[in-house]
Amino acid sequence: MHDGFYRDLIQQSPIGWTFNRILCDRAGQPYDYEFLEVNPAFSSISGLRGVDIVGKCVSEVVPGLLERDPNWLKTVGEIALKGGAAEIETYFATLDKWYRVSVYSPEKYYFATQLTDISQDYHNRVALLDSLGAAIYVADMQTHEILFINGKGKEQWGDIVGATCWKTLRQGLRGPCDYCTNPKLLDEQGEPDGIHEWEYFETETGKWYRGYDSAIRWTGRTNIARMAMILDITQLKQTEDRLRESEERYRLLSDVTLEGVFIHDQGVVVDANEPLARLLGVPLPELVGRDLVEFVHPADRHLVRDRMLTSNLRPYGVRVFRQDGTIFHAELQGRNLLVKGQALRVASVRDFSERHTAQEALRVSEHDHRLLIEQMSQGLAVHQMLYDEEGAPKDYRFLSANPSFERLTGLRRQDIVGRTLLEILPDIEPNWIQAYGRVAKTGESYRFEDYSRGLGKHFEVTAYSPRQDQFAVVVADITERKLLEHALVDEKKLLETTLISVSDGVVSTDVDGRIVFMNRVAQQLTGWDRAAAKGMLFGTVCVLVDEYSRTRNTRVVQDVLEAGIEMEISNHTLLIAKNGTGLPVESSAAPIVQDDGKLVGMVFVVRDCSEKRRKQKQINHLSYHDQLTGLFNRRYYSRVEKVMDDSKFLPVALVMADVNGLKLTNDAFGHSSGDQVLIKLASLLAQLARPQDVVARVGGDEFVLLLPNTDELEATGVIARLEEALPRESHDGLIFTVSFGLGMKLTAGSHVEDAYKRAEEQMNQHKLSQGMSLRSRTIDIIMRTLYEKSNREEAHSKRVSALAGTLAEKLGFVKDHVTLIGAAGLLHDIGKIGVDEKVLSKPGLLDDAEWQAMKCHPDVGFRILSSAPEFSEIAGYVLEHHERLNGMGYPRGLHEDEISIPGRILALADSYDAMTSERPYRRSLSKLEAVQELKRHAGTQFDSVIAKLFVEQVLQEVW
């Protein structure tokens, strides 16, 4: 929100916007939030002015909001603390409008909201629902509150918005209906899924209704809602019942059936058949008039009563008492029946105790097998094979998988069941599909090992077909075993080739110390041929001596083979080759032991360390020398400084040298030019130093010359010789000056460090006195260099200077400021000294890289001019001469009042001269054409007042 452009974008947006901070209690739980910023659109939408609510909590601004909808605080709190976004539709009573609220968090503890008016969409939806001929209502599936009812519904039940649906719409229910409590109505992501059909008979009115339910997201609610469309099908049911009544009564009560059948009114038996009487052990006449529910086990009675009140046709099982007190398992199935206008229900009762026992045994067996499958360490998955038009296997679908399959493959069941292999792993190898296709088609089992690139694992797979066109796989992850096998094979190959191709020399012996093997490097180092050396004693072929004492090492074989120990041989060791030459080596020896612990020989490894020693010397040199100049560095100087505190070096003179204007050189001509200056000074210091003197580069542009046993007069002479030997100009034509300082250590009680400080103070005083005039002269040289690179630049700069000075005078600037602005015009392109000469003189348009380099010149010019106090004020004007009022300029993208008046003058004068000057890639504009351009861009690129005055008073043209 600190960028003015984006702030304006939000403030002018027609979409309501707020920025807020969540407030949490000590436990870190959100309890309120504070308005930090709102835009005018939000104030218009909500009726809440920003000045009245910014800095206040929502509970203070809208009392009761958090209590009425706690889910709102929960939602924004979670987003503010954990990140993410959400979208909610809600109603603003103050404006009688619906809005979609988008919530997101730019950083922790903060969240923003955007409000979009969706009232028209909402009213269109309501109008559509009202236009339908069926009764429609919407209810919250968690609170069961009726949220909406259309016109047809109001005719049937009245305006019942706000009432509880199961209490108002369905008589006889003791709680929410099955639909609202059914978890299968939502998909795996918790979103509504599918449409469900049901039928209901209303006893009070004697009417039948068919309902179509769907779980939906309802405007303004975070909970899932239920939308129900209800049709009156009484007439249809009566027609169906009349056709079936006589036929069903005779068929259902027929004693031919072995099932018990009865007709009841709310559970009271109206009629029954003989098989039911025998099943219950009750005479048939005694059954009529009895409540059949009393025969049902108490734990199952609620199920029977609930089914009596619905039109459910599916059979269900309950436990039933016989007259003698024994219990059997019965299967009940009922349906509604209209007899002479009376709504009854007919039901059948079947003894399925034996089937229940068998089913229970099957269930236990199934449970045991499922438990076995779920807990088995191998992965198990069942699939349906899919074929192309020619009957060839093309893919397969996952039907089920156990947890081990998930663990082994990394594929979660919820992500794969119901999906095909190519949907999940599109890059899978086709041989898997072909192999499984043969199993599914032929029923023959198949076992194989293979590697899956998609999963990056090796598997042992056993596939078999449990039924036609299906196959199951038992999968074991053998990646670790395969990797071990491959590692063993690779290790064997590696050992076979390593000893030959390794860069170290390798020699192996038998238990007696006689040569068995030598690789190529060992032959080169010793000068012995492998064939000639084989069978010879180790000490004859590998002669090892101490580098300094030249004593021969004869204990290698004895220590390793007799004592059975590994040993590192001294780094100060020479290997004497067959021709007598000595080579510095690093070596080690170890016994060769079999798995059973038996010693069978020795292996000796030797490495030529000549190059290592050479590099070590080089590293040691670099650690004490400056890489650019080759002089000693600060680290070395710090060591020598302590050494020079010894009284034997008295007196000690310390000369410090610092290159003047090095930063200006780097800014104007690049660091390579500055480096050349440093190299020249370093070379000069090294040439004039005595053997006992120490010359070091101790900083970026600072050097020290440490002169032991040198008095002040001698040291002053050294400085004079240095100043005399200094070149007057660098290779780029810049003035090359150095400031010197001198410090002395004259007594044993003083320190070189004190002399260093005095030399540094003296040097800084010299730099201060020389710096101003040097920088001014350097800037003159830079401009001359720029003009030499491009004659066009010199003419352009002079014209811009004249135009800028005249314009400043017309604007009423005093004489000194007119002169200053004219000077700025003359120097406005000084930063182009850093641009390649080929780019400055390029006849065509610049490419992207060249244009980016050119756009840096205001910054470079600013840094150059800022280094000289007399140019510091115009440096800022030069920095701004390519800025535009609309913020589209460079280098800083300033807007309007952020750009100074002199900066605007330079921008206009520079642009006018550029437009009216000839360029290789375009023709120049006439004065009138340029005036039209100035008018066209006034207010966006140029200051309108300055542009008008320039045209009328400087160009003497009509605005």
Higher pLDDT pick, 168 / 639: 639
- Quote the percentage of the chain above a pLDDT of 90: 18
pLDDT value for 2: 47
- For 435, the enclosing helix (H) or strand (E) is helix 430-442
Give the Cα-Cα-Cα angle 615, 616, 620 (nearest 5 degrees): 115
Cα 550 to Cα 544: distance, rounded to the nearest angstrom: 9
On average, the pLDDT of the chain sits at 82
Cα 827 to Cα 829: distance, rounded to the nearest angstrom: 6
Mean pLDDT, range 155-181, rounded to an integer: 77
Q: Tokens 């840096």 appear where?
A: 856
pLDDT value for 815: 84
Q: Which domains does the chain have, with CATH numbers?
A: 4-117 (3.30.450.20), 122-232 (3.30.450.20), 237-357 (3.30.450.20), 376-483 (3.30.450.20), 507-609 (3.30.450.20), 623-771 (3.30.70.270), 790-954 (1.10.3210.10)
Q: Give the single-character DSSP code of 952.
A: I
Higher pLDDT pick, 731 / 869: 869
Q: What is the pLDDT of residues 356-406, one digit of tens each?
A: 776 676 676 566 556 666 777 788 889 999 999 988 999 999 998 888 888
Cα 112 to Cα 101: distance, rounded to the nearest angstrom: 10
Query: Rg of the Cα trace of the chain?
Result: 49
- Quote the percentage of the chain above a pLDDT of 70: 85
Both structure tokens of 588: 């080690």
Is the pLDDT confidence value at 846 over 70?
A: yes
Q: How confident is the model at residue 1 (pLDDT cuts 50, 70, 90)?
A: very low
515: helix, coil or strand?
Answer: strand
Q: What is the pLDDT of residues 31-44, one digit of tens each?
A: 999 999 998 988 88
Q: What is the pLDDT of residues 926-945, one digit of tens each?
A: 888 888 999 999 999 999 99
Phi, psi of 272 (to 5 degrees): -155, 165
pLDDT value for 422: 92
Class of residue 342 by CB neighbours under 10 A (exposed 0-12, middle 13-18, buried 19+):
exposed
N-terminal to C-terminal alpha carbon distance within the chain: 40
On whether the CB atoms of residues 220 and 72 are closer than 8 A, the answer is no
pLDDT value for 309: 66
Cβ contacts of 250 within 8 Å, gap of 6 or more: none
Cβ contacts of 128 within 8 Å, gap of 6 or more: none
350: helix, coil or strand?
Answer: strand
Q: Tokens 């990797």 appear where?
A: 483
Phi, psi of 580 (to 5 degrees): 95, -5
On whether the CB atoms of residues 189 and 177 are closer than 8 A, the answer is no
Class of residue 907 by CB neighbours under 10 A (exposed 0-12, middle 13-18, buried 19+):
buried
Residue positions counted in the chain: 959
Both structure tokens of 958: 């009509």
- Assessment of whether the complete model's pTM goes beyond 0.75: no
Q: How confident is the model at residue 783 (pLDDT cuts 50, 70, 90)?
A: low
Cα 653 to Cα 704: distance, rounded to the nearest angstrom: 10
Cα 522 to Cα 524: distance, rounded to the nearest angstrom: 5
Is the pLDDT confidence value at 729 over 80?
A: no
CA 590 distance to own-chain centroid: 51
